[in-house]
Amino acid sequence: MISISFDRIGTVAVRQGFSLRLTLFIVFVSLFPEIRTQTSLPGNPILSIIDAKNEGDTVTLTCTSYGGNPLPTVRWYKNTQLVDPGSSPNGNGDGVFTVGSTTATYNNYTFQVSRSDNAVSYICKVNSSLLTSELTRSLRIEVYVPADNPIISGPTAATALDANKNYNHTCTAANGYPVVNIVWRLGTSFGTSQDLSQGVSGRTFRISESTTTNSDSTLTKVSVLSWTPITADNGNILFCVTTQLTAPGGSVPNITKSTNVLISVQQIPILRILNTSYTIEVGQAVTLGCRIVSALPPATRVSWSRFVNGVYSRVAIDNVRYFGSTVSNPNLTITNVALSDATTYQCSATNNAGTGNSGMTLLTVTGSK
């Protein structure tokens, strides 16, 4: 016969036959009936709030799931691509911490943001053997990306623009976020230039803009300036200036960039006759007046033509009867006037831009040979 009894400290006494007592010490978890481990579902992922960032900034995305037994996995995805499975050897994110009696599992994903991160979904996925589907929550990062240097296209400095003719210049600022602001300026220097969008007295400048979204979510801004140069613009500089915001609260100031093109303007000579008619007697001398009002670049040649037999023919300056018709003296002087000199005359001047003509002047010759 064997009898077993337990004392208060867990000692077991065994008695058999001749009352030999053997004391055994039993290591146990509990003297009471077995208590099974309680299982529980993990909580929904809680994400950190991320402000807008500048390209190249370092950012840490934090995802935390409270509770869960067994502990869940906590992983970060960029769209569908796994980017951070967590550093914990048992697969539970980066580790755990406790808040009161609750265990929390977390994953911190740290990286440098680039334009490829702008507006994409970063998804935290929490999973457990107890879940039928993953618990997910996502966020998007607004990444501020500096635009490329602006580029002006259209007539270049090597092209002389005809005064009072319409031209288009285009300024393009590509691959930035958010979209840049473009301002056109015109003047002899940046400091003295005028903002064309604010208007210039007596002149018209038309500006049209468009914005396109690129495959990497950056934006390209195009601004077209339609304008009519005048001679006073010759030697001025046309500026395209871009300004772009950077992420609020960052250490990078707002970004300003500019480019420019030197404006060269040409104009065919503008001439004015001094009188519309002259009357002179045969044998006398007469000077038909002509003035070069403007020419850009300066006129290089002056000539006179007269209407004979239905067409205008150039007057040959022989310095015998016909004098003048030069840049310094554009007048035409006729000595020893003959009846055959009576007709209409026209003054012309030529420069690199072309040839300009004056109005007509009529020469009337009186008397006889």
pLDDT at 185 over 70: yes
SS3 196: helix
pLDDT at 232 over 50: yes
Euclidean distance between CA atoms 80 and 122, whole angstroms:
9
pLDDT at 347 over 90: yes
CATH class of 268-366: mainly beta
Per residue in 279-330, pLDDT tens? 999 999 999 999 999 999 999 999 999 999 999 999 999 999 999 999 999 9
Contact 167, 228 (CB under 8 A): yes
- Give Cα 250 to chain centroid, integer Å: 20
Domain chopping of the chain, boundaries? 46-144, 151-262, 268-366
pLDDT at 6 over 90: no
pLDDT at 3 over 80: no
Residue 8 confidence (pLDDT): 36
Specify the amino acid at residue 309.
Answer: N
pLDDT at 29 over 80: no
pLDDT at 93 over 50: yes
pLDDT tier for residue 235 given thresholds of 50, 70 and 90: very high
Residue 27 confidence (pLDDT): 33
Q: What number is the average pLDDT over the span 80-98?
A: 91
Average pLDDT, the chain: 89
pLDDT at 197 over 90: yes
Token pair 């290591």 is found at: 27
Percent of the chain exceeding pLDDT 90 equals: 84
Euclidean distance between CA atoms 330 and 269, whole angstroms:
12
151-262 and 268-366, same CATH topology: yes
Residue 96 confidence (pLDDT): 95
Residue 102 confidence (pLDDT): 94
CATH class of 151-262: mainly beta
* HSE-up (13 A, CA, CB side) for residue 302: 25
Q: What number is the average pLDDT over the span 165-189?
A: 97
pLDDT at 176 over 70: yes
Residue 369 confidence (pLDDT): 67
* Residue positions counted in the chain: 369
Record the tokens describing residue 30, joined without a space.
């509990």
Per residue in 119-157, pLDDT tens? 899 999 999 999 999 999 999 999 999 999 999 999 998
| CATH architecture of the region 46-144 | Sandwich (2.60)
- Comparing 67-76, 91-100, 257-266, 292-301, the range with the smallest average pLDDT is 91-100
Residue 37 confidence (pLDDT): 60
